Structures are given as C-alpha cells and as structure tokens.
Amino acid sequence: MATIKDIAAKAGVSIATVSRVLNHDETLNAQEETKKRIFEIAEELEYKVRAQKKRRKKLKIGVFYSYSPEEELEDPYYLCIRLALERKLEEEGYLRQTVKMEDTAESLSGLDGVICTGTFTGDMIAVIELWKCPVVFVDANPNPEKFDSIVADYRQAVEDIVSYLVSCGHTKIGMIGCREVNAQGVESLDTRLHCFQDALTRKGLYHPEYTKYGAYYPMYGYELLKELYQEGNLPTALFVANDSMAAGSYRAAYELGLHIPEDISIIGFNDIPAAKYMIPPLTTVRLYMEFMGEYAVKLLEERILHGREICVKVSVPTQLCIRDSVKTVSYTHLTL
C-alpha cells in the first residue's frame, strides 16, 4: 500500500507538504501545479487516506534553563516563565525532561523538541544547533533563520517608559541596566540600553553620566543608585532593568534619606507580583511571562505535529503599569 512518504519522494516535496495537500489545508502556500501533481501521483499509486483517529501524539519535550535555581530566586522573571511552561506541558500530557549543555544529539535522540529559556552565548548556541531537533527560545532570538522564538517588544517598552517620564516633566533621566560577563569573559549588554539611549538622544536628553550597569540582582540596584548619588549624578527619574534591582534601589534611597518619588522617581521592569506591594507601589512594565511560557509550547507543537518548516518569531507587546513611584515635575526647564 502506498504511503505519504512514497508520494513525497515521487513528487519531490516534503512529507509535510503532501500531508497538508491531501488534507486540503487552505493555509498552505503552494503552487497549484504542485498540488495537482501530488493528487495525480496519489491517484496513480492508489493511495487511500486512512481514517484519522482522534488521538494526539504524546510528545516528549526537553527544557533547558540557562540560569541556576539560585539566580531564578534572585530574579523571579524566569521563575514565572518556567512555571507557566511546565504547567502547560503538564496540561497537554507531554513528558518533560531537563536538558543540560553537556547533552548531545545522541543523548537527546528520544526528544521531540526542546524549549530554551534565559540568555545564551555564541558558544551555547553552537552546542544547541548540534542537538538536531526543533528548538524554541523564550525571551531570546539568537538565530531567526534556524530557531523559533517568542520575545517581548523591548524597544516599544523603552519608548513607552521614556515618553511617560518626559510627559511627567523629567529631563534628567537615568538608567540602571544590565551588563553581564560569562565564564569565558564574553560581555553581553542589555539591548534596552541601546533603545534607551536612542529614545533620549532623539529628544536631546541623553546624558551618559546618569547610566550605570550591573547584573540582574537587587544588590546592583542598591549599589549603583548609591554610586550615582555619591558621584553627584543623581537623575530625577531612573529606569531600572528589572523589579528586583528596583527593590535594591528602593533600599539605597531609604538609606540615603531620599524619598520616592519626591526626590527620585523610579520605574522597574517585569511587574513581578511583589511590585504593587512595594512602598510606594512600583511603576513598572508588565511582561506577559505566563503567556510567553505557554505559547512556546504551541510553537513547538506547530513544528512537530503540523510540520511547519518556516521559522517564526513572535513579538509580545508589553504594558506600562502606572502606580505611585513617579511624580510630575515642573516643566519650567523642559527643552525638547
């Protein structure tokens, strides 16, 4: 009895294309000539479409986390993504296996695909490419030609932050961003720093002395705000790369005798559950972390179960959550 594989071989197309044509998939972008040839070959080989059973394949999915459990506790952002991801896999009845950088294509041969979350160096990406299976990245987009990804729209988020602070009358605007160095000594800079610089430069408001870099932990928010203060470069408004660092900045402001937002306005990022309980409640950017984790599973399903061959990058919008940590200042000296 002829199979889809036989038809694909004779037609010179993929098995996925044959399956979609024979099942009259209207979303398939294929030439009419190709579709006609597939139907003719199917008839020639006396192919018979088998009745499909209402049964889903039980996938085995690998999950790779580039951060440690200790780092996850320091920054709950990835904790939220991981929990949403694992909950979705459980709801779908899929088997889950933790993947490590030491794994190879051979050790992962039983997996249908892998979901990766965190930050990644070039060397790590090179290893992941060798796994030879469908891979989806969450909050990273290392190679859009080879991997699916789901990311937040960081550029628009930063534009929203800068526009809001300027609308509140702030002209001395700073940022505590992230600059990390991996074990190989390779430095990675938060892409939002470039977006921040661009947005302020266009308004004639960029001052590098108001910008500091650290890692995504509370201690750096604490130490770097103190550095700005001691150097005499304290801005009236500060964008901090995540809510955990913002909590550190809150502590530093308290110890310096500064009041938020009267002496300094602060905006965070991520909208972790504790943000609205800080004193004052933190104005921050909400990322839809649960959605990103869940949708990563959907992207992998499209690859494995539906045969999608083209890589997809999903950009998720953010929301500025305005609370009480930013004040409106006088427009007297505002120049745009």
What's the average model confidence in pLDDT over 302-328?
A: 94
Q: How much is the pLDDT for 73?
A: 79
Encoded tokens for 159: 């534009």
The pLDDT of residue 51 is above 60: no
Return the closest-CA partner of residue 315 out of 333, 295, 330: 295
> Facing residues of 148 across strands?
136
Encoded tokens for 216: 């995504």
Report the predicted TM-score, pTM, of the whole model to 2 decimal places: 0.77
**pLDDT (tens digit per residue) in 233-270:** 999 999 999 999 999 999 999 999 999 999 999 999 99
Q: How much is the pLDDT for 259?
A: 97
Q: Which helix (H) or strand (E) holds 320?
A: strand 319-321
Kindly report the average pLDDT of the chain as a whole number.
Answer: 89
Is residue 168 within 8 A of residue 327, CB to CB? The reply is: yes
Q: How much is the pLDDT for 333?
A: 45
Return the closest-CA partner of residue 75 out of 286, 241, 285, 292: 241
Residues 6+ apart with CB under 8 A from 241: 175, 176, 177, 178, 190, 192, 216, 269
**pLDDT (tens digit per residue) in 84-133:** 999 999 998 999 999 999 999 999 999 999 999 988 888 899 999 999 99
Is the peptide bond prior to 273 cis by the omega test (within 30 degrees of 0)?
no
Encoded tokens for 330: 């006088």
Is residue 195 within 8 A of residue 186, CB to CB? The reply is: no
- Give percent of the chain with pLDDT exceeding 70: 92
Place 170 in a pLDDT band, splitting at 50, 70 and 90.
Answer: very high
- Give percent of the chain with pLDDT exceeding 90: 63
What does the alpha-carbon distance between residue 61 and residue 109 come to, in Å, rounded to a whole number?
11
Q: How much is the pLDDT for 334?
A: 44
Cα angle 20-22-26, degrees, rounded to a multiple of 5: 50
